[in-house]
A and B are shown apart, each in its own frame.
Chain A
């Protein structure tokens, strides 16, 4: 067990170091400034609701950037290992391929979550300064569920990067994530309105695609609505862990079958 933990820690650390050394962190901070600047310089001019509008814009940017970082980091976990042939000395060490997949996934998740926390810290400071509300429970829930969102999309993209080209994995994951964020909630109604094969295709998407819309608390956060029930929050997080677990099992299987 100790050896397994050391292996997972080494693999995760590698992914995080890669993010930091490739200057991705600088990009993260630049993005955080992009989020903060409109809020800092755009005064509401006494217009009612302008602060909320700015908050909504900031949240939209946070989601957009977190998707870019989450997908970008996880899509390039494995392809560079094959291209530069670093995979050979790695797999020659006494490490199971499943451990490699899990360790690298954990690294990508840690890197993505650390960037996300920077964004939310910037957002919290923005809201605190403008509206005097510091670290509300709904903000905590939003962060928690956003982490759940990243748990799913990093696993999904990692799986994609092992079964198709990196650009194809990135494109397909981005389409799935954005598509489900926009249409996910309406899928059952859309399916019910269709007939024949189209109905079953939509139902299949409903059952198999990741319901990332469950994790989106932007409206509640911006409009200061009450918190989601904690048991619902927990259930959604369990869904995220199960979905990611399934993706990782499939990724482990794909990695074992990959030709070296």
Chain B
């Protein structure tokens, strides 16, 4: 059974077509890079995967269930694009809060959180209020809250925003480690180089429609082009039109 099945899904906001007849699946234990320019429909798709908004047409199954049901969401970890958490809490309190929402006792949260906090290098800052955190630290706090309840599927919306090069390497290692543990990762990003390094497959969205989906070696064709070139090519940008990529 696929971890994520998106079948003919469409979503409109007024006259704007955000997602149009999107069909996509993600296999268990796979890292899928979900790519596209701003406004391509990535975040709308993620919101539908989390049951936050309802598609106008089509169906979505996540880990065999409807994401609008709490039982399905209990197996999903989500890291939002904007690392906005409650500035008046410290990291421990934030994790107690999210753990409580997942039905975890304080003891269970403490047991699980300590290792994760150390893993992302926030051990020394865990007692500080989040309003004192840098953007990169908030991103790392975001990955901890997403992993807190040990989810089977991880949905990451632009997770590399604000991370310095070292933190990116650590983050990449963490994602690969999660794959080793059998987790499925749905990874939305603008960072083509990072996506190329860690993703098993990529899906490229353009104006709400899926234009490319497949393994890197399969979509590259001649085997020489990198993801950046493929991305520019399929999006048919001005650069591509000028024949730079020819």
**Chain A contact residues, CB within 8 Å of chain B:** 2-3, 6-7, 9-11, 13-14, 17-18, 21-22, 84-86, 88-96, 259-260
Contact = CB atoms under 8 A, between A and B. Distances in A.
Interface in B103-154: 103-105, 129, 142, 145-146
Contacts of B99: 10
Contacts of B47: 88, 260
B82 A94 contact: no
Contacts of B145: 89
A95 B88 contact: no
A247 B191 CA distance: 46
A85 B79 CA distance: 12
B78 interface: yes
Interface of B: 47, 50-53, 70-71, 73-74, 76, 78-80, 82, 84-86, 88-89, 93, 96-105, 129, 142, 145-146, 155
A7 B52 contact: no
A67 B196 CA distance: 57
Nearest to A87: B52
Contacts of A96: 70
29 contacts: A3-B103, A6-B101, A6-B103, A6-B105, A7-B101, A9-B100, A10-B97, A10-B99, A10-B101, A11-B100, A13-B97, A13-B100, A14-B89, A18-B86, A18-B88, A21-B89, A84-B84, A85-B82, A86-B85, A86-B86, A88-B78, A89-B79, A89-B145, A92-B76, A92-B80, A92-B155, A93-B73, A93-B98, A260-B47
A94 B78 CA distance: 11
Most buried by A among B74, B93, B102: B102
Nearest to A92: B78
